[in-house]
Amino acid sequence: MVDIEFSENDLNPDLPKIGWVCTYTPEEVILAAGFLPFRILEEIPSTKRADTYLHYNLCPYARSCLDFGLKAEDPTLRGIVIVHSCDAMRGLYHNWQHYVSATPFVHFMNVPKNSGSLALEYFTQEVQKLKAALETHINRTIEDSALWEAIDLYNASRSLMAELYELRKSPELQIKGTTVFKVIQASQKMPRESFNQKLKSLLEEIKNQETKTSLPQGPRIMIVGSLLSGSQIIELVEDAGASVVCDDLCSGSRYFEGNVEKGDDPIKAISSRYLLKAPCARMKNTGLRLERAKKLAEDFQVQGIIYQTVKFCDNHLYDYPLYHEFFQDAGLPVLQIEEDFVGGNRGQMRTRVEAFIEML
Amino acid sequence: MKDKNQLKVTKDMLKKESFYLKSKLLNKMKRDPVLLKATRKMREMVIDLNHEVVKGDKPYVLTTIWAPSEILYALDIIPICVESTATTLAGFGLSDEFLGIAEKNFHTPETCSILRCGVGAVIDKLFPQPLAAIAMTHFCDAGAKVNSTASRVYNCPYFLIDVPPERGEEAVSYVAKQLEKMAHKLSDLLGRKLNKQELAQAIELSNQARKYALRVNELRQAVPSPMRGSEALAYLYMVALGFGSKEAVDIYRSMANELEKRVTKKFTPIGEEKYRLLWLHVRPYFKNNLFHYLEKERKAAIAFEEVSHIYWDELDPEQPFKSVAQRLVLNSANGPIDSYTDILIDLAQKYKVDGVLHYAHWGCRWNYGRLRVIKDAFQEKGIPFVSIDCDSASSQNYFEGQLNSRIDTFLDMLG
């Protein structure tokens, strides 16, 4: 079975970084400013330090990000861009701004929930403001050529990740869900050139395999939800004899789907891609999300859905009844799993996943 | 003691006209010697608006709190707010029933009980068919989700107004454009044209109400406090949904006149004032003894509550959308956290409070996200602050004994 490994240096290189926490962050602008865009998402997240600042009934991912900032162990982290993707992220910004002193650059960016022309016009101004704030910070202009270069790198990355996902449509799976998860997670932390090179090699390796080894043919599962802290849910599914073949996650396909289209104005092009990308539950257009999930389920011949929510994530929690009804009507069983993000409830989760897979 | 003027309400009663007629009568008869006439008028306004909705005489929209009410009143559309409906249901002792409906429909009990009760009411179709559902984004994610659900349940248009959490011109312009677009679409749904004059009139009414509300707030700086905070907290309804209506002008004018007299006579409805408090966030809406305990037993006056703060400038009738957009965007709790804490500290000083009581409604994410910063801002100024984790719509998470103990500790600390 083909696999890939990323070293510690791959995932945390000694380069000046700007952290980000939400996939609505236009990473290309950060890269064009000379920083490595770096998703704040630890392998073993903790909320210990953050718990005195953010109440326990707030999203544990937001709390773990604050914890990371308070810990201040990464001297290469020069700043953070926090997007107003939800109430918890807004809270994260208030607290980061006040209590994290290690990052000189802290920028808050608004993202509309609408996606029409007025919203796009406003969002473009927000991306422009991010560029201006970074320019002030680095004391130089970010040239259009640097933005186009960053766009090219990211587009190449996104296309490669889409290619990797495409392979999973086949009934004979040659790559495990946990491996794919590792790739996506690395893409959110690594320098693009080396990531693209590494993923290209993996794709070549899969294509050039002399003897194709497929995974055992178990039920095909799609995970829908917010973001996974680690690959534990995927491991549970795969340990139970099923395969995770696709997802609608911000630590998955929602991150890379759709490229920036080339045009005259790189900021407009970037804004358009990010606002109109595969939508998160925070966006208004729920119908579009459901249609996309339905198409993914069809294209990847999915037999069961795991609806994952990070604890206290209102946007995804409020959508669950809708997804439940929608997939039940489509004849696809749904299992809801709530993650506390810091490793609790694993035993209970295992039992539920196993029972679900058995039922399929 | 049982109040004979208190109706035992069931959810089916709420769908009948007779309930509102009886409620109106009981509101007039209810014995409470220190209740302001203005408050009775406000209650009558709420009863009348809901009555109109039940009768089906007038179009209404389901909205979230802090609605662009001037635009709705100009179009003669009644705003029915999911949050205030939920709190009313809690007051009737019905919230647990609607929370149960939400939970049966896969809504987890870990979300805000106010909005979960609201979504239960939507799923159960407590309300008749609305013209549309609208939501504002500046306060919470859940409100937008509930009214999105409403638009599906009722198969009606859904207008989501993005209100960015910043105060710049771009934000105001973005909101104004969205409001204008929504107003035209609502007019189309009503089969009428948007009338500039009607919009200007609603803005004028909003300005008049604002003028009296400012006077009210000025009068409330008096020591002793001329108004019960428990009563004043109900005016969140007016600030968030009433501006632009004729009733709001009448209510605030009446309130200003009544308080003027009380201040002259140094009358305080709680009898004696030992402590003065600034109240932050919301309150419990189900039957409780909290306010009786605070005001009557511990003689702690709620001198002011953040929800009554009038933060916006006079609106411009010539630019109705821009003006209303400014009113939404400039909401004290929207925008940078430091501007918000500056406002709170100013209120604490202006109302000469001994301490600040923050009623932290469990499940309110945006409120919990800012809590530590607020606490530290007061601490830095040496203003005593206490935050109490509680629930506003579900009495299941309300433990009066514990609550009173925390209040006792806090008040004793104040001296």
One-character DSSP codes across B193-262: PPPHHHHHHHHHHHHHHHHHHHHHHHHTTSSS-SS-HHHHGGGHHIIIIITTSHHHHHHHHHHHHHHHHH
Do residues A246 and A222 make contact, with C-beta atoms less than 8 angstroms apart? yes
Extended strands (E) in A153-257: 220-225, 243-248
Do residues B394 and B317 make contact, with C-beta atoms less than 8 angstroms apart? no
Q: Quick check: helix, strand or coil at residue B98?
A: helix
Selected for mutation to probe chain B from A318, A322, A340 (highest B CB count within 10 Å) is A318
- Per-chain mean pLDDT for chain A: 95
Long-range contacts of range A137-142, CB-CB < 8 Å, 24 or more positions apart? Answer: A137/A33, A137/A79, A137/A104, A137/A105, A138/A33, A138/A34, A142/A29, A142/A32, A142/A33
* Contact residues on chain A for B174, CB-CB shorter than 8 A: 112, 118-119, 121-122
**CB-based contact A91 B365, cutoff 8 Å:** yes
Examine residue B320 and say whether the peptide bond preceding it is cis (omega within 30 degrees of 0): no
Q: At what angle do helices A266-275 and A144-167 cross, to 10 degrees?
A: 30
Bridge partners of B298?
A: none
Q: Distance (Å, rounded) from C-alpha B151 to C-alpha A318? A: 14
Number of domains within chain B: 1
Rounded percentage of chain B residues whose pLDDT exceeds 90:
93
Smallest Cα–Cα separation from A94: which of A77, A75, A69?
A: A69
- Per-chain mean pLDDT for chain B: 95
pLDDT at B6 over 70: no
* CB nearest B362 (choices: A57, A113, A338): A57
Selected for mutation to probe chain A from B117, B178, B281, B365 (highest A CB count within 10 Å) is B365
Q: Quick check: helix, strand or coil at residue A49?
A: coil
Chain B nearest CA to A282, separation (Å): 7
Task: Confirm or reject contact between B132 and chain A (CB < 8 A).
Answer: no
Please report whether residue B8 resides in a domain.
no
Termini Cα distance of chain B: 32
Q: What is the CA radius of gyration of chain A?
A: 20
pLDDT, residue A340, reads 87
Position A171 confidence tier, pLDDT thresholds 50, 70, 90: confident
Could you tell me the strand order of the sheet in which A36-39 lies? A36-39, A17-20, A77-84, A105-110
**CB-based contact A125 B170, cutoff 8 Å:** yes
Tens of pLDDT, residues A119-161: 999 999 999 999 999 999 999 999 999 999 999 999 999 999 9
Tens of pLDDT, residues B87-97: 999 999 999 99
**CB-based contact A113 B106, cutoff 8 Å:** no
Position B335 confidence tier, pLDDT thresholds 50, 70, 90: confident
**CB-based contact B369 A114, cutoff 8 Å:** no
Token representation of residue B36 = 């302001």
pLDDT at A264 over 60: yes
Please report whether residue B2 resides in a domain.
no
Token representation of residue B214 = 């400012």
Residue range A12-145 in CATH 3.40.50.11890: yes
Question: What average pLDDT does range B358-378 have in this prediction?
Answer: 96
Tens of pLDDT, residues A267-293: 999 999 999 999 999 999 999 999 999
Domain that holds residue B190: 13-414
Bridge partners of B357?
A: B279, B386
Taking the domains of chain A in order of start, what are their residue ranges?
Answer: 12-145
Chain A nearest CA to B69, separation (Å): 21
> Which residue in B has a C-alpha nearest to residue A57's C-alpha?
B363
pTM of the model: 0.96
Please report whether residue B127 resides in a domain.
yes
Position A208 confidence tier, pLDDT thresholds 50, 70, 90: confident
Position B1 confidence tier, pLDDT thresholds 50, 70, 90: very low
Bridge partners of B281?
A: B359
pLDDT, residue B3, reads 54
* Contact residues on chain A for B141, CB-CB shorter than 8 A: 86-87, 282, 314-315, 318
* Contact residues on chain A for B181, CB-CB shorter than 8 A: 118
Tens of pLDDT, residues B119-152: 999 999 999 999 999 999 998 999 999 999 999 9
Question: What average pLDDT does range A237-253 have in this prediction?
Answer: 96
A-proximal residues of B, 243-302, CB under 8 Å: none
Task: Confirm or reject contact between B144 and chain A (CB < 8 A).
Answer: yes
* Contact residues on chain B for A91, CB-CB shorter than 8 A: 365-366, 368-370
Please report whether residue B7 resides in a domain.
no
Question: In whole angstroms, how far apart are CA B84 and each of A126, B41, B398, B406?
Answer: 33, 17, 19, 27
Size of interface A-B (CB pairs under 8 A): 121
Chain A nearest CA to B381, separation (Å): 16
**CB-based contact B369 A314, cutoff 8 Å:** no
Please report whether residue B237 resides in a domain.
yes
